[in-house]
Structure 1
């Protein structure tokens, strides 16, 4: 039997069920989940938002294989107010360091979020600096290199304070509370992700 679970991963949790060092928070601390599920894709420990858990290996291949590109959208809180030149740079692709090599990212979708989104407070809160404004961006990518969004924003001069994945294709985080999860049907997952059964 296949299981499909949408999870709102909180800040500070590993996208896996086993800690790497004693005391680390993992997905196991958010369950219980069916024992055979695993994360399809991942979010860094300091990133938040939509994470899909399943035991459907076909889903894993279709969603993660670069030949089957999918848009992933993030709300990104950055230091400063990005200008149009910075947004254009993100849209056209930037050069980042990845695996000790220079990598040119694929074109992305980037825009300022206005009005600013209403999101739950992070625990712990982001650092506050009275003399530096903060802005939320919406950034959509069709690839997922390690810490790519953070590297891209830093490259154009706007360090990331907070990062929340809000959708994968048409599969949305919606109003799912931080740390909460819900089961989905196969039809729902495959339809929203535009996958072949």
Structure 2
């Protein structure tokens, strides 16, 4: 059987799924509204509704399992509230203690650094805020794990809450060449 693979620039406000039977999600936006994907297509990992950026999709469950494993890097450009300190960046790099469902865990060490210039992303549908409310900083964070809202929790834990989160890379596949909401078919993923 030949499988299909895609990369997508997920816009803000979309859920990383194709449908839902949950009452509270009836009026939400789903991936199927962006492209006519073949039957059996699944998102590889997720981006929450408020996050944007690279999302890989496939009809091959084995490829999905391989990419979501903890050996594949995922890079995010994160706009945080305030001027992030060197100490906060070091904390991100070394790992921070987070909790989920009353369970605490320490994130694995990761790559993190302040970006030299503001990334050139399309304006978001819902405005974040403007400079009148204080400065912001763009940070690159690369992790190879991905627990529930992990990057957002990491930046909040070091005192700089996330305002905007855009995934720009999964492994060797980047967001380059995609406009917001666009899909590109790929020959193979890995």
Verify same fold: TM over 0.5: yes
Q: How many residues align?
A: 186
Specify every segment of 5 or more residues in structure 1 that has no aligned partner in the other structure, as ranges: 191-197
Give 1:14's aligned residue: 15
Deviation at 1:162, TM superposition (A): 0.3
Matches of 1:164 and 1:28, distance apart in 2: 20
Q: How does 1:42-191 map to 2 (within 5 A)?
A: 42-66=46-70, 69-128=71-130, 130-186=132-188, 189-190=189-190
Moved more, 137-146 or 57-66: 57-66
> How far has the Cα of 1:132 moved from its partner?
1.2
1:36 to 37, 40, 51: 40
Cα distance in 1 for partners of 2:13, 2:150 equals: 18
Moved more, 121-130 or 163-172: 121-130
CA contact (8 A) 2:69 2:145 kept: no
Which moves more between the two structures, 57-66 or 96-105? 57-66
Q: Deviations over 1:110-142 (max 9, x none)?
A: 100112211110001113351410111000001
CA distance in 1, matches of 2:177, 2:186: 15
* Runs ≥4 residues deviating over 6 A: none
| Cα distance, 1:175 vs structure 2 | 3.0
Indicate the SS of the match to 1:76: strand
TM-score (structure 1 length as normaliser): 0.91
